Amino acid sequence: MSIKKDIAADAIWSVELSDDERERARRGLTERLFSKGSYICHRGDRLDHWTGVAEGLIKISAISAAGKAMTFAGVTDGGWFGEGSVLKGEPRQYDVVAIRDTRLTMLSRATFMWLFENSTGFNRFLVRQLNERMGQFIATIEYDRILGPNARVARNLSWFFNRTLYPRAGNAIEISQEELGLLAGVSRQVVNRALHELEDEGLLKAEHGRITVVDAEALSRYDS
């Protein structure tokens, strides 16, 4: 069994594909490695691939004309992003940065479009993915403007326990306070304080480099 075939079978969107569709997808897959801190793409770049995180952690963000940075989403193992840009064939509207050493899986645009035009199962996945991401981005804009640091940490952490985007997620994630701070747009010290307070409220258990979530739903609604 080839490595590419393993990648195709492991992708969350492959579950509803037929054997022939999955084989077509296998032929369109490649992998790339990115070191911590490196840009995967800049705003305005054209990428001819749909992208998944096989292993690692990335941040999708943008900087406004006034110089304010905003993080739209973090994506970790098993998550896929960028389908909107691929569908429209337009330049990326955001920067993508590797927060830790990251291995990406890339599906060529030609293969993506073939699946889009021919696979009912693939389209069902895309509808769910686009709907969930849209809700996430809208919520991100809201809490970036009005919520305090504890809520920003809580809600950014809750991303990784979204069962639509990460159906295989367990109840824990390996993530450092520095990484979580980069996603939430706050300092490591603020993350440390927020995690202690969230732990005191019984919502999670924080250990060195690992966070176990007790109530992901409560984290996603947290507004204190």
Whether the per-residue pLDDT at 158 is higher than 80: the answer is yes
Locate 15 and state its tokens: 């579950």
Rounded percentage of the chain residues whose pLDDT exceeds 70: 94
Whether the per-residue pLDDT at 137 is higher than 90: the answer is no
Q: Are 165 and 81 in contact (CB under 8 A)?
A: no
Whether the per-residue pLDDT at 136 is higher than 80: the answer is no
What per-residue confidence (pLDDT) applies to 165? 86
d(CA 59, CA 71): 7
Go through the domains of the chain in sequence order and give each one's CATH number: 3-143 (2.60.120.10), 147-221 (1.10.10.10)
What per-residue confidence (pLDDT) applies to 59? 93
Looking at the whole model, is its pTM more than 0.75?
Answer: yes
- Mean pLDDT within 190-204: 96
What per-residue confidence (pLDDT) applies to 1? 41
